[in-house]
Each structure stands twice: as C-alpha cells, then as structure tokens.
Amino acid sequence: MSKIDYQALRAKAEKATCGEWSLEYGEGRFDGDDALIHREVAGYIPICRIEGAHPESGFDEDFQMEQQANAEFIAAANPATVLALLDERERNQQYIKRRDQENEDIALTVGKLRVELEAAEKRIAELQARDVKPVAWMRNANVTSFMSRFTTDEKYAVEQWGDDAVALYPLPVAFIPACFTDERNLMHINERGRETSLIWSKQNSDSGDIKLFRIAAAAGKGEES
C-alpha cells in the first residue's frame, strides 16, 4: 500500500460535499437496481450512484453484495467522518510529540541529578575520610590474601609500602569492606610496633571480630569499588 498523503486527503475532504451522506436504493427516482448516495439539504443533492447495489437487483449475488458493501462504505466514509478521523490522528500525533519531549526532558533531568548525586557522594566521602581517622594500614597488593601485611604505624606503612599502603577505617559509610580483624590482632601489632601477617578473612573470622573499611578510591585493580 502506498503511503497516505494525509494533507492531500484533508484537502479533498474539505472540498467534497459536506454534511451527512445518506444511502438510498432505487424506488422510482432512479434505476431500482442501483443505490444512490446523496445529501438532503436545500434540495436533493445526488453524490454518486452504485450500479447493482440493491439487495433485490437481478445481478450476480457476489457482485450485488460487493456493490452494496461499497455503497454502505461510501456513505459511511463521508467527508465529515474523514475529517474527524484526520483531526483525531493529528491530536494523537501532537500528544505523542509532547510525551516524547517530556520523556526527553525527564531523561536529561535524571542524568543531571545522577551526576549531581555522584558528585555529592564523592564530596561526602572526602569529608568523611578527612574527619575519620584510620586505625590501621594494609598493603594494597595483598588485600585479598590471608597473609596480607598489616600495621597500625602510619609512618612505617608509608615508608615501607609507599603507594601500596591502604588506610583502614572503622566506619562503613562511603567506604567498602577491606578485611576482618579483632582486638587480639590489633594488640599484637601494637606490641610488635611494626607489622604482622596475622589478618583475618571473612571465612576465618570469629564472633566479636572487627570489620575494617577502606575508601572506595583506594580499591586495587580488578576489585569492586
């Protein structure tokens, strides 16, 4: 089916006979075997004549039924009906256009809010990291190992591990889990004064263990942040 030219269709409907169209079968004013589409307004205005459309015409039954259907369709699809359908289509198109624009505006707003939220969360993490003091340090290269190096001496961690030194905090807000330890372990480190490999993983933890956290930005490669 070829593409419908709605503008051309509207122009044709506006030029055609306006008002309600009526269907009449031949009773004397025209051939009794035919159907007439007309409009009663300030006189009788014939619009078109459909040959053999009368239900009791002597034409072949299939032909007569098709002609009758054609006559009924033409009467129903009058210019007023066509214009009403075109108006409804135009309203729907305008509605779709408005909704598309609204959805686009919403998407832009959501994107802007997401950027602002990420910036705010980053700023909160920075402020929290500034206010919360670390309680220990671990070597970043071995954060998932049971034998990770672990110390409570910041100076030692920086001197020995440099950029691999990861600060550990006692608070979970804006931080990600790093490891488990306990009071005995921290005491052991303090007694040694330097570092230890006695670090607990989640699988090896006991009740009363202390979970330590690190800033998300300090996550090693290949780890979740």
- Long-range contacts of range 138-145, CB-CB < 8 Å, 24 or more positions apart? 138/165, 138/166, 138/168, 138/178, 138/179, 138/199, 139/164, 139/165, 139/166, 140/164, 140/165, 140/166, 140/218, 140/220, 141/220, 143/178, 143/179, 143/220, 143/223, 144/223
Residue 33 banded pLDDT, cuts 50, 70, 90: confident
- What was the pLDDT predicted at 108? 95
Which is higher by pLDDT, 199 or 47? Answer: 47
Q: What confidence tens digit (pLDDT) does each residue in 144-190 have?
A: 555 567 788 888 888 888 888 888 877 655 555 555 555 555 655 55
Task: Tell me the average pLDDT of the chain.
Answer: 77
Is the model's pLDDT at 54 over the cut of 70?
A: yes
pLDDT band at 198 (very low <50, low <70, confident <90, very high): very low
Higher pLDDT, 52 or 142: 52
Summarised one tens digit per residue, pLDDT across range 70-122 is 999 999 999 999 999 999 999 999 999 999 999 999 999 999 999 999 988 88
